[in-house]
Amino acid sequence: MIEAPSVNVDAIMRKAAASAAVFSELDQAHVDRIVRAVFKAGFAARVRLAKMAAEETGLGRWQDKVVKNVVGSLLVYEDIKDLKTVGVVSDDPESGIVEIAQPLGPILAVIPVTNPTSTVLFKILIALKTRNPIIIKPHRNAAKSSIEAAKICYDAALQEDAPDDCVQWVADLPREETQKLMAHKDLALVLATGGGGVVKAAYSSGTPALGVGAGNVPVFIEASADPVFAVEAVLSSKLFDNGTICCSEQALVVDRSLAEAVKRELVVRKARFLSDEEIRRLEAVVIDPKTKVMSVDVIGKSAAAVAKMAGISVNEDASVLIAPLKGVGERYPISGEVLCPLLAYYEVDSFEQGLNLCIDLNYFGGIGHTASLYSNDEEKILRFSKLMNAGRILVNTPSAQGGVGHLFNTLHPSLTLGCGSGGKNITTDNITARHLLNIQRIARRRVNAKFAALDPQLFFDEKVDAEQVERLYHKNT
Amino acid sequence: MFDLKDDAGRLTCAFPQRMDTLACQQYERDVHPKVESAGKPVTFDLNGVGYVASSFLRICLRTAQSVGAENLFISNCAPEVRKVFKIAGLDKQLNIK
């Protein structure tokens, strides 16, 4: 196992601060050479890192982790390579505003166990592109693979004369030291991807943080959808890396007119519908009785493995477990987020009923994250979108791949998906390099002629009301 | 404007399409006293209601207080109205079907 260079928080931050100082001197061309070198090295290691991550964590499928590494390297690189991140990034003579991009400073990147190498590649690329040194804090169950990914990136960056310590990593950092690191005066940002606990710790640290929220993605196959296409897409997403992506589908809501076709297609694709008794047994396994949220033991496991844990007999090649439920909420634990090949299943009699159910699912632990709709009716697509509290509303798209962007749409490719205020985040954006810049604005003198034309005495005359002053403000002179 | 029915010991009230402040005032004046004094379970049938003002949320809470939360049922919510109850956090306090 690769040893972390240091576990002394102050030493790490001293190195990071020195790295930030040197980084601030680099021009765009130099930065872009570093980023390209890191992309190439990360991409070259995509298969090895994927296998390493799958073996170390026991989660998901290495083949899908290769695709994730491609997203975290190739697609992220393609998205940011032409972005101006150094010096003047815009100049508008008319408004007199010139924007200058400055780095934030050292970033602490918290890495989840579910995407331990792709998230490292992604975060290092966007940090280096914006001249921010980055400290990788891996999940304890994925430290080896995350650190290996970080080391590959760092070595490549140094080959292009990147500042020393522009990438650091810390493994097995005790909780108190992690909190100390998060709260360190020289740390500019915590880029927190992971479970609720670590994200909350990041937000509580006093350091600015970009975090993520929990998901509970409803997917509504409404009457105008193509049921066979929808099922194929849903399964290609839900089965991807055994459902470890937080924007993957959690509950199928199907218009009853399509139900037979949907069920038939699910069975053709080796889905296994569960009985009420089997659902009860499964609940005991997939939901942690103490926390009332999904058990970490089932995350990224195959359908057969999860069924076996619950003592349910299924074929070894079962693709996904389908749990027909009668409601949403704590009485129906599987109606919440479970990151494995398991889908809650509902049938509805109308679009209205489906909307109501999706609202309930959305608000049962997934607000701000992602919602999914299969429809060929623009009015319904818009109405659904307005009613969901979700940063991403994905239409006729596998939601796992759709949410991370650039595969089925033009969302920015990202492995950190903002969930807005619903998820206690500052943005609903897919986080990318644009979020890691301080933008300075040179504001040249442009006198507000309308304001200058007003007689200042008006402001002191209490008889002058808002409508009068509004007329005068907009009066042509 | 409001249709209050007494069916086998249960009241059911239907509402106009817009339960704005004025409609709510009228409800509070004309209907609420009857609901309160009846002391029976009541269903607010929101079929066709597309907008509710803050006053309507207050009506729901007042009614739940007077007849008991377990005796007030809110049915046939349009998704837009259901979302209002969700955002207000009232979906856990009220029986919304």
Dump the DSSP string for A95-137.
TTEEEEEEE---EEEE--SSSTTHHHHHHHHHHHHTT--EEEE
Expressed as residue numbers, the domain containing B15 is 3-96
Chains A and B form CB pairs within 8 A to the count of: 19
By Cβ distance, the residue of B78, B80, B86 closest to A363 is B86
Structure tokens given for A113: 């166990």
- Average pLDDT, stretch A104-117? 97
Closest chain B residue by Cα to residue A356:
B79
Average pLDDT for residues A395-413, to the nearest whole number?
Answer: 97
Rounded to whole angstroms, how far apart are CA atoms B81 and B84? Answer: 5
Residues 6+ apart with CB under 8 A from B6: B38, B40
Judge whether residue A175 has pLDDT over 50. Answer: yes
Higher pLDDT, A476 or A81: A81
The answer to whether residue A107 scores a pLDDT higher than 80 is: yes
What tens digit of pLDDT does each residue of A230-243 get?
Answer: 999 999 999 999 99
Per-residue pLDDT for A5 more than 60? no
| Contacts B78 to A, Cβ<8 Å | 352
Q: Where are the domains of chain A?
A: 9-211+431-438, 217-404
Decide if pLDDT at A1 tops 70.
no
Mean of the pLDDT values across residues B3-15?
94
For the record, the structure tokens of A325 come out as 């439920």
CATH number of the domain that B51 lies in?
Answer: 3.30.750.24
pLDDT at A442 over 80: yes
CA distance A388 to chain B (A): 9
**CATH top class, domain A217-404:** alpha beta
SS3 call for A209: strand
A476 falls in which pLDDT band (50, 70, 90)? confident
Share of chain A above pLDDT 70, in %: 99
Class of residue A38 by CB neighbours under 10 A (exposed 0-12, middle 13-18, buried 19+): buried
Which of A360, A363, A387 minimises the CB distance to B80?
A: A387
CA of A353 to nearest chain B CA: how many angstroms apart?
8
Total domain count, chain B: 1
Q: Which chain A positions have a beta carbon within 8 Å of B91's beta carbon?
A: 363
pLDDT bucket at A4, cuts 50 / 70 / 90: very low
Query: Are the Cβ atoms of B82 and A352 closer than 8 angstroms?
Result: no
Average confidence (pLDDT) over A32-59:
98
The string of pLDDT tens digits covering residues A342-390 is 999 999 999 999 999 999 999 999 999 999 999 999 999 999 999 999 9
Q: Closest residue of A to B92, CA-based?
A: A329
Tell me how far the alpha carbon of residue A285 is from its chain's centroid. Answer: 26
B97 to chain A: nearest residue by CA?
A356
Q: Rounded distance, CA A68 to CA A248, Å?
A: 14
CB atoms B78 and A352 under 8 Å = yes
Residue A2: what pLDDT?
Answer: 46
A239-265 mean pLDDT: 97
B38 contacts: CB under 8 Å, gap ≥ 6: B6, B11
With beta carbons under 8 A apart, name residues in chain A contacting B77.
356
Question: How many CB atoms sit inside 10 A of residue A473's CB?
Answer: 13
Query: Residue A165: left (phi > 0), alpha (psi -120 to 50), or beta?
Result: left
CA angle B18, B22, B23 (to 5 degrees): 45
Alpha helices in B20-78 (DSSP H): 21-30, 32-38, 54-67
What does the pLDDT read at residue B8?
Answer: 84
Element (H, E) at A79: helix A76-80
- Whether A3 shows a pLDDT value over 60: the answer reads no
**Check: complex ipTM more than 0.90:** no
**Averaged pLDDT, A175-197:** 95
HSE-CB of A168 using CA atoms within 13 angstroms? 26
- Rounded to whole angstroms, how far apart are CA atoms A118 and A15? 25
Q: What integer pLDDT is reported at residue A290 of this predicted model?
A: 86
CATH architecture classification, A9-211+431-438: 3-Layer(aba) Sandwich (3.40)
Distance from the A359 Cα atom to the nearest Cα atom in chain B, whole angstroms? 7
Outline where A349-430 has alpha helix (H): 351-363, 378-387, 399-404
Region A320-324: what's the mean pLDDT?
A: 98
Identify residue A235 by its one-letter amino acid code.
Answer: L
Q: Are A108 and A182 in contact (CB under 8 A)?
A: yes
Q: Where are the beta strands (DSSP E) in B1-97?
A: 3-7, 10-14, 18-19, 42-45, 51-52, 72-75, 95-96
Q: Is the pLDDT of residue A466 over 70?
A: yes
Tokens of A376: 């060929």
Residue A49 main-chain phi, psi, to 5 deg: -65, -35
Q: Which residues of A are catalytic?
A: 246
**How far is A43 from A228, CA to CA, in rounded Å?**
34
* CA A204-A208-A214 angle, 5° bins: 65
pLDDT for A455 equals 95
B86: closest CA of chain A, how far (Å): 7
Residue A197 has pLDDT above 60, yes or no: yes
DSSP symbol at A236: H
User: pLDDT band for position A171 (50/70/90)?
Assistant: confident
Average predicted confidence (pLDDT) for chain B = 95
**Average pLDDT across chain A, whole number:** 96
| In the predicted structure, residue A307 carries a pLDDT above the cut 80 | yes
Cα gap A207→A113, rounded to integer Å: 23
Angle at B96 between CA A391 and CA B4, to 5 degrees: 135
Q: Which residues face A137 on adjacent strands?
A: A110
Burial (Cβ within 10 Å: 0-12, 13-18, ≥19) of residue A202: buried
- Residues from chain A that touch B49, judged by Cβ atoms under 8 A, are none
